[in-house]
Amino acid sequence: MINTYWALILPTAANGFGIFLMRQYFQTIPIELEDAAALDGATPWQILWHVILPLARPALVTLFLFTFIAEWNDLFKPLVFTTRPELRTVQLALAELQEQFTNNWQLLMAGVAIATLPIVVLFIIGQRQFIRGIAATGIKN
């Protein structure tokens, strides 16, 4: 899997934080909703897809934002798993802009500002769901 996108995606696909966050959020959803859907004839997959996941949207957005920010800022994993230049991440490109004895600070700071934009835009788009997900996760009725 070296030098593939899968090497960058799979190690993060399921992590302990994501499992814990979703478990805590799923515990806040009343079991009566699942029972009502089962009485209406829904299969377990239909209950998950049509009842549970729409209610878990704030937690899913929160998990997506946390994971995206962590992976966007990760330097070590892409450094270890990739050697091809076209697979380099933004953080590796920024690290390559630094030299041992001199730095072009203007170029480096411009790169940092550009690298920050996707995170800021995603947070602005998902801000309401993010705040709901943080506020509701861990609260048990």
75-108 tens-digit pLDDT: 898 889 988 888 888 888 888 888 767 788 888 8
Q: Would you say 87 and 1 are in contact if contact means Cβ atoms under 8 Å apart?
A: no
> What are the structural domains of the chain?
5-136 (1.10.3720.10)
8 Å CB contact between 15 and 63: no
pTM of this prediction?
A: 0.77
pLDDT digits (tens, 9 = 90+) for 114-124: 999 999 999 89
Lookup: tokens for 20: 């814990």
**Mean pLDDT over residues 45-54, rounded?**
93
DSSP state of 85: G
Percent of the chain with pLDDT over 90: 28
